[in-house]
């Protein structure tokens, strides 16, 4: 499948940076990728180019305009809070059914490769009863889990994987929540080496491809992940 959900172990883990790197890689190969960031917290309408959605549009070579933002990020909130809290602060809420329908329409469209970037981590609340995990499952998409190499990242990554696996074991309908790859973004200044993080993580995630994204030379890791997600582009 050439459509994937980009999720993470938490916020500020590098989901948008990695999504943009993948988009630029595919564009350089002559492909026509697409990307969505349907739910966005911490959005400043005076500086839309500084937002995650603005970064995705720039990576795609598209204008950062109101119309383009509406097309890829219709649920935008000002507060840098979890989506449910940010929406409530504005007297709004995220309609989960509408969010899933929006995502599925994008999946049905012909543009490929397609990335749908989530918000926060796997278990970030979207409303009173739904989390990003529910969104992943309902989208029917395999996901890429983005984590770091900081001290504690192993526990965070394995906890996120367990949360995804629990949904699959529960028999809840949906083809999503499969993990296509784990991308380990090297954390600047970490006391834990990137290679050591991958080696330790590999002992617990048999069968899931691990991709290292080195901070100083990310190109090789980005290219490998791009090839895993869309083998035809290799």
Which residue, 57, 210, 77, 75, is CA-closest to 135?
A: 75
Task: Name the burial class of residue 205, with classes exposed (0-12), middle (13-18) and buried (19+) by CB atoms within 10 angstroms of its CB.
Answer: middle
Give the whole-angstrom CA distance, residue 166 versus residue 214: 30
Tokens of 216: 């100083």
- Is 15 marked active-site? no
3-class secondary-structure state, position 171 = coil
Tokens 């989506």 locate to 83
Give the whole-angstrom CA distance, residue 121 versus residue 133: 9
Q: How many CA atoms lie within 13 A of 8 on its CB side?
A: 23
Set 4, 15, 37, 130: catalytic member: 37
- Active-site positions read 37
């Amino acid at each position: 499948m050439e459509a994937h959900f980009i999720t993470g172990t938490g916020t500020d883990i590098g989901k948008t940076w990695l999504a943009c790197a993948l988009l630029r890689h595919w564009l350089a190969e002559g492909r026509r990728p697409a990307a969505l960031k349907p739910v966005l917290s911490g959005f400043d309408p005076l500086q839309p180019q500084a937002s995650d959605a603005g970064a995705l549009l720039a990576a795609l070579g598209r204008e950062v305009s109101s119309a383009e933002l509406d097309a890829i990020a219709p649920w935008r909130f000002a507060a840098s809070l979890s989506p449910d809290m940010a929406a409530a602060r504005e007297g709004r809420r995220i309609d989960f059914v509408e969010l899933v329908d929006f995502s599925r329409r994008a999946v049905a469209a012909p543009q490929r490769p397609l990335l749908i970037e989530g918000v926060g981590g796997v278990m970030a609340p979207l409303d009173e009863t739904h989390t990003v995990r529910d969104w992943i499952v309902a989208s029917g998409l395999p996901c890429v889990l983005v984590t770091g190499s900081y001290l504690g990242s192993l526990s965070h990554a394995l906890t996120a994987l367990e949360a995804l696996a629990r949904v699959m074991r529960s028999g809840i309908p949906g083809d999503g929540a499969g993990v296509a790859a784990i991308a380990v973004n090297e954390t600047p200044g970490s006391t834990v080496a990137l290679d050591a993080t991958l080696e330790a993580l590999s002992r617990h995630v048999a069968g899931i491809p691990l991709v290292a994204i080195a901070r100083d030379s990310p190109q090789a890791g980005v290219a490998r992940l791009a090839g895993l997600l869309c083998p035809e582009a290799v």
